[in-house]
Amino acid sequence: MKASELLSTIDAIDSYKRYGRVKKVIGLMIESQGPESSIGDVCLIHIGTKNKRVIKAEVVGFKEENIILMPYTTVNDISPGCLVEGTSDPLEIKVGAALIGSVLDALGNPLDGSSLPRGLKSVPIEQEPPNPLSRPPISASMEMGVRLIDGLLTVGTGQRLGIFAGSGVGKSTLLGMIARNTKADLNVIALIGERGREVREFIERDLGPEGLKRSIVVVATSDTPALMRIKGAYTATAIAEYFRDKGLNVMLMMDSVTRVAMAQREVGLAIGEPPTTKGYTPSVFAILPKLLERTGTNEFGSITAIYTVLVDGDDMNEPIADTVRGILDGHYVLDRELANKGQYPAVNVLKSVSRVMNHIVPKEHVQAAEKLRDYLSTYINSEDLINIGAYKKGSSKEIDTAIQLYPAIISYLKQATDEKISMEESFHSLVSLIGTGD
């Protein structure tokens, strides 16, 4: 570094430390008189005189001359008069290839309490989405290793998808299958608002050693403060962006974006935002597009993103589901009725869509997928008549073919969780199945 550059760097350093004092704590909110800060800055709250410790908090708003802070941990032991130190910096995490295979918390620290490896680079967790004109069009398919998806709802490299389902329909199991089988260079998995019990089960059973060795897992369980659950989503996205900028094709999986929205609602209500649509605050609908648009393609690499959406009471039109569906490039709907019948993955093909499939697979693949949908739709529309014996064979050629092919179609849609099927196999078995109905 030249002497002039060194001097300018030294001149730019702020040598002053700024302090304030805690005035009051109300629920999740800490009100402090000072220090001078901006929205998003991290502050350090110094607690105790004997057992001194420091907790991090973030500036989320202002009230007259005071600043409003939200802590990254619980507010226990904070009292009026606690010293608040301003850092004037937003939250950053350390990222690098040495993190692959690790399980991290929402602030990017190893969840098992170990130290971070050396040689990592600091990156801010909040970044702007890529310029729309710098995004290359999605032109190649991404193999998922799940026959139903690769054959009928093909995913493009850099596509953003939502898995919409109620609780207990198989979202985590499907994510685990994709993480183990996908052809992506790296998986980044965010478990937001999950039960503590489910985290280890997902890592050991659904993801498995094979999936973990090519993944980075970010965890913010349901017992963590609301701000930590939000930061977990941003941290996972920032990690994926770092590797995308290195030229990798990254698979980002977030379970679930609904719990991120719920956490933002908690923060919004705490700082005084009015509840609007079904109790969600306006900031919820502001952060969702900013978060989801950060993924996708850029000039260096791609982030293929899969977000699960926990629909309340299986209502696919509730506010968060409706908003997320409008932002993403496709959606898979998991059906409780199919799960109850033992059909896994329980994806309802007729209610699901991949908006880029027609542009990334050959024409014969698209035609075969459309034919299978037609046969499945024809059978389901006539199912009641067939089951009660009111349909007479020969009345409709389409229905006769649908009845003939239905067992083979259901067999095609089913797949064992430990079974890996290539995209080529998925396509050939689809063409073979449809050919028997011609």
Q: What is the pLDDT of residues 14-61, one digit of tens each?
A: 567 888 999 988 887 899 998 888 898 999 999 876 668 888 999 988
The length of the chain, given as a count of residues: 438
pLDDT of residue 431: 92
Question: Where residue 313 falls among pLDDT bands split at 50, 70, 90?
Answer: low
Query: Exposure string (b/e) for 212-227, b if CB count within 10 Å is 16 or more?
Result: bebbbbbbbbeebbbb
pLDDT of residue 302: 95
C-alpha 19/C-alpha 43 separation (Å) is 9
**What's the mean pLDDT in 380-394?**
81
**What's the mean pLDDT in 228-246?**
95
DSSP 3-state of 169:
coil
pLDDT of residue 49: 65
| Domains of the chain, earliest start first | 17-89 (2.40.10.170), 93-360 (3.40.50.12240), 364-434 (1.20.1270.330)
C-alpha 8/C-alpha 347 separation (Å) is 58
Question: Where residue 76 falls among pLDDT bands split at 50, 70, 90?
Answer: confident
C-alpha 107/C-alpha 152 separation (Å) is 38
Lowest mean pLDDT across 90-104, 219-233, 293-307, 312-326? 312-326
DSSP 198-267: HHHHIIIIIIHHHHHTTEEEEEE-TTS-HHHHHHHHHHHHHHHHHHHHTT-EEEEEEE-HHHHHHHHHHH
**What's the mean pLDDT in 249-275?**
91
pLDDT of residue 383: 81
C-alpha 142/C-alpha 428 separation (Å) is 17
Q: Is the pLDDT of residue 347 over 70?
A: yes
Question: Where residue 98 falls among pLDDT bands split at 50, 70, 90?
Answer: very high
Q: Is the pLDDT of residue 290 over 90?
A: yes
C-alpha 86/C-alpha 423 separation (Å) is 53
DSSP 3-state of 71:
strand
Query: What's the pTM value of the predicted model, to 2 decimals?
Result: 0.90
Nearest one of 252, 255, 187, 185 to 219, comparing CA atoms? 255
240 phi and psi, to 5 degrees?
-60, -40
Question: Where residue 395 falls among pLDDT bands split at 50, 70, 90?
Answer: confident
Write down the mean pLDDT value for the chain. Answer: 89
